[in-house]
């Protein structure tokens, strides 16, 4: 039975317009499918009889010949199991012993539909030879050294290509299971590179063809690939070749679920590329998906809601030929016996992906658009309930890929290993708005659980999530790593160890300090108002005679309270009206002569600015009306033109007196109605201040939804 996800029911019930829900530069052009009027062929009319033991290859060949002669058409394959795949024996000198026979091969057709039914299965015949076989005896050949590779063409033995589409366009294949019957193959020796069998045993192979949709395909247990997509000879600027995979599963194949070796515009929606090389034998690279341009380029790849799980090789590999240039959205990569991803090619981007297992590399470039980027991704050593997880020691271990590799709003969760080791001699790793959580309690006291070199940290939080009472201490090793904004350590078990490069670390509060000064008041959770006197207290310790006192808001310097004052343990400060309301304020005391002598309070306090720089609400509002209030997007202000001659400007002011939006009303037509766009103002309570030409001010309370 075909392994089709439940979402299939949705796609069957709707037309091709459903593809609009997915965003891609390279959609399948379905207009010809919706208006198809070509010849219809039925595989049974060519002698195919399902659910028996008779090979149906000849029927598929005849149908392919008829469709090719017709220039296209629709092939109906009703329910049932169809046995395919034949090899003729030829033991004459200088010939391959097992002669591969085509099944369904067409060239130069336009508008081809291959349509299965709910239980249409194409299954490879038992005992098909595959690999290296002696050309005279037909015996499996293993005498070559597998580490040297073996490519003698006389020993090359291919099994089948179920559907081979060559130099054609407008192809739609759907609702078919392709069973390679791997367990019943006659496996020969290695042929190809190293310990591989790079011979044909493929479910679908599209070659130099374009505008293709493969929908609801279950392609599994093939000796090579579930699906292979090739378009040779492409160069930058060529027209798109468009291949779309939708709701398709490729699993338990020996080399790849999907091999993409050339094309411009390949999109996969809701697809699975799992369990490669988990049965039978392994052929390199044994990946879920391999993006590997051969005599061509790969551009415009997009994978949405796809899964790369439990592959013997890497879940997704992109490291050969002029490829890369692909994005992955809402995808899951789960490395169990190998890495989840392997990227050494340009312009590969990840968005909202879950990545389980160790990431070993990335691609850096002076052009940020070409460097690998991860956006809103989760990296975790999460153990799959059925297949486990790879046994590496790190979540990520990347060595010198080049500049601009970026991680934005990503979470790293190290449950049973160290978080990451990144080293970049040629430029920065860039971590922005990221969280790193450590949970591994098996590491030795004093171990390094994170190592960061040649990086920039911008608003990064590192969390100790250890059991209560856990008393081991760990180090985060940093080499020439800059803090652009905030860096926080949440917990008492992990500290920074600095080897070189201190830019930004003092401002973040994570500079290695001497523990000399200690702020005692405020000590956090206090609430102050502007105008209050704050008596700052600290222990002078063994610091020098003079200190500076700074006010931080979050991890930014808000105000210099005192640039140079006596280190006598106290200082009185009247909180000025210029300080904004907030609850993330901290005091820092620092020795002006020794940068390592400083202290921050541990818990932030709050300041409320009680000054509202607007006029009181008065009866003058009767001259104006503002609506709607609450307002979401557009605010209308109407007024009586007999009482108000003209409006000069309108200000939207927040509750602490800051002007959020100002609109100058030039050459107003005095018709008594003004419209303002307030869509970009955050939700909250504001004042609307209306200034008239006669220098009067009218103020209204305004609620923004």
Q: What is the pLDDT of residues 231-266, one digit of tens each?
A: 999 999 999 999 999 999 999 999 999 999 999 999
Q: Residue 576 has which token pair?
A: 């000025």
Place of tokens 């590997």: 292
For residues 402-431, average pLDDT? 91
Domains of the chain by residue range: 8-356, 518-608, 619-704
pLDDT the model gives residue 175 = 98
Q: Which residue has the higher pLDDT, 323 or 614?
A: 323
Q: CB burial class (10 A; 0-12, 13-18, 19+) of residue 434?
A: buried
Reply yes or no on whether the pLDDT at 525 is more than 90. no
Q: Residue 526 has which token pair?
A: 């206090």
Is the CATH number 2.60.40.2950 carried by domain 518-608? yes
- Per-residue confidence band for 394, with pLDDT thresholds at 50, 70 and 90: very high
Within the chain, what is the greatest distance between any pair of CA atoms? 109
- Per-residue confidence band for 673, with pLDDT thresholds at 50, 70 and 90: confident
Reply yes or no on whether the pLDDT at 417 is more than 80. yes
Q: CB burial class (10 A; 0-12, 13-18, 19+) of residue 595?
A: middle
CATH architecture of 619-704: Sandwich (2.60)
How far apart CA 84 and CA 61 sit, in angstroms, is 10
Sheet (strand 448-453) strand order: 394-399, 418-423, 448-453, 474-479, 494-500
Q: Residue 437 has which token pair?
A: 């959580």
How far apart CA 96 and CA 682 sit, in angstroms, is 73
For residues 151-163, average pLDDT? 97
pLDDT the model gives residue 545 = 94
Q: Residue 63 has which token pair?
A: 């149908």
Q: Which residue has the higher pLDDT, 619 or 663?
A: 663
CA-to-CA dists, residue 467 to 380, 440, 464, 473, 490, angstroms: 19, 10, 9, 13, 14
Superfamily of segment(s) 8-356: Single-stranded right-handed beta-helix, Pectin lyase-like (2.160.20.10)
Of 285-289, 291-295, 629-633, 661-665, give the lowest mean pLDDT range: 661-665
- Count the Cβ atoms, other than its own, within 10 Å of residue 493: 17
Task: Identify the bridge partners of residue 538 per DSSP, sorted by sequence position.
Answer: 519
- Per-residue confidence band for 700, with pLDDT thresholds at 50, 70 and 90: confident
- Count the Cβ atoms, other than its own, within 10 Å of residue 453: 20
Q: Residue 580 has which token pair?
A: 């904004």
Reply yes or no on whether the pLDDT at 311 is more than 50. yes
Instruction: Find all residues with CB under 8 Å of 467, minimum gap 6, and list them.
Output: 441
Using the CB atoms, write b or e for 657-696: b if 16+ within 10 Å.
Answer: eeebbebebeeeeeebebebebeebeeeebbbbbbbeeee
How far apart CA 491 and CA 505 sit, in angstroms, is 18
Instruction: Find all residues with CB under 8 Å of 608, minimum gap 6, and list them.
Output: 527, 528, 529, 530, 581
How far apart CA 395 and CA 354 sit, in angstroms, is 12
Phi, psi angles (nearest 5°) of residue 360: -100, -10
How far apart CA 103 and CA 159 sit, in angstroms, is 11
User: What's the predicted TM-score (pTM) here?
Assistant: 0.78
- 518-608 with 619-704: one CATH topology? yes
- Per-residue confidence band for 658, with pLDDT thresholds at 50, 70 and 90: low
């Amino acid at each position: 039975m075909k392994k089709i996800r439940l979402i299939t029911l949705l796609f069957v019930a709707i037309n091709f317009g459903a593809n609009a829900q997915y965003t891609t530069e390279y959609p399948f052009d379905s207009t010809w499918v919706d208006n198809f009027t070509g010849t219809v062929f039925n595989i049974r009319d060519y002698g195919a009889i399902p659910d028996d033991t008779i090979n149906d290859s000849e029927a598929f060949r005849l149908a392919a010949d008829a469709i090719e002669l017709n220039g296209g058409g629709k092939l109906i394959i009703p329910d049932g199991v169809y046995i395919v795949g034949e090899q003729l024996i030829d033991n004459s000198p200088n010939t391959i012993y097992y002669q591969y026979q085509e099944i369904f091969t067409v060239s130069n057709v336009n508008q081809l539909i291959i349509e299965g039914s709910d239980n249409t299965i194409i299954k490879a015949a038992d005992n098909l030879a595959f690999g290296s076989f002696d050309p005279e005896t037909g015996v499996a050949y293993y005498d070559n050294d597998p580490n040297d590779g073996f490519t003698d063409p006389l020993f090359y033995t291919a099994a089948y290509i179920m559907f081979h589409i060559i130099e054609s366009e407008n192809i739609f294949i759907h609702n078919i299971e392709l069973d390679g019957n791997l367990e019943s193959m006659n496996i020969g020796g290695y042929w190809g590179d190293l310990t591989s069998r790079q011979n044909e045993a493929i479910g679908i192979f599209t070659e130099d063809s374009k505008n293709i949709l493969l929908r609801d395909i279950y392609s599994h247990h093939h000796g090579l690939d579930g699906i292979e997509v090739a378009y040779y000879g492409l160069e930058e600027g060529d027209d798109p070749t468009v291949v779309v995979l939708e709701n398709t599963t490729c699993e338990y194949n020996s080399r790849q679920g999907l091999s993409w070796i050339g094309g411009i515009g390949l999109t996969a929606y809701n697809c699975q590329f799992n369990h490669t090389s988990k049965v039978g034998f392994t052929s390199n690279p044994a990946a879920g998906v391999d993006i590997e341009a051969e005599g061509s380029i790969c551009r415009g790849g997009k994978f949405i809601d796809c899964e790369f799980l439990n592959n013997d090789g890497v879940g997704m590999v992109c490291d050969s030929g002029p490829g890369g240039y692909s994005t992955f959205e809402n995808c899951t990569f789960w490395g169990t016996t190998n890495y989840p991803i392997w990227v050494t090619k340009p312009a590969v981007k990840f968005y909202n992906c879950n990545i389980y297992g160790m990431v070993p590399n990335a691609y850096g470039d002076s052009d940020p658009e070409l460097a690998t980027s991860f956006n809103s991704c989760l990296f975790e050593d999460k153990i799959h309930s059925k297949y486990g997880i790879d046994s590496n020691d790190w979540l990520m271990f990347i060595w010198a890929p080049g500049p601009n590799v970026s991680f934005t709003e990503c979470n790293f969760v190290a449950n049973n290993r160290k978080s990451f080791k990144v080293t970049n001699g040629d430029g920065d790793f860039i971590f922005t708005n990221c969280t790193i959580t450590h949970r591994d309690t098996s590491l030795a006291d004093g171990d390094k659980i994170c190592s960061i070199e040649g990086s920039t940290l911008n608003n990064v939080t590192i969390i100790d999530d250890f059991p209560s009472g856990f008393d081991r201490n760990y180090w985060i090793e940093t080499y020439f790593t800059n803090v652009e904004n905030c860096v926080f350590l949440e917990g008492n078990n992990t500290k920074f160890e600095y080897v070189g490069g201190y830019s930004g670390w003092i401002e973040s509060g994570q500079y290695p300090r001497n523990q000399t000064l200690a702020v005692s008041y405020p000590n956090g959770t206090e609430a102050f108002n502007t105008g209050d006197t704050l008596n700052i207290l600290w222990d002078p310790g063994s610091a020098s005679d003079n200190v500076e006192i700074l006010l931080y808001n979050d991890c930014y310097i808000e105000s210099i309270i005192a640039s140079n004052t006596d280190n006598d343990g106290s200082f009185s400060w009247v909180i000025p009206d210029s300080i904004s309301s907030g609850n993330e304020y901290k005091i820092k005391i620092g020795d002006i002569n020794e940068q390592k002598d400083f202290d921050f309070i541990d818990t932030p306090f709050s300041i409320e600015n009680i000054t509202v720089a607007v006029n009181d609400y008065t009866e003058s509002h009767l001259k104006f009306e503002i609506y709607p209030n609450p307002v979401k997007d557009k605010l209308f202000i109407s007024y009586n033109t007999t009482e108000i001659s003209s409006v000069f400007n309108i200000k939207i002011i927040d509750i602490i007196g800051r002007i959020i939006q100002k609109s100058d009303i030039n050459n107003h037509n005095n018709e008594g109605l003004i419209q303002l766009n307030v869509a970009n103002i955050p939700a909250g309570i504001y004042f609307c201040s209306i200034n008239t030409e006669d220098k009067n001010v009218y103020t209204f309370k305004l609620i923004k939804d």
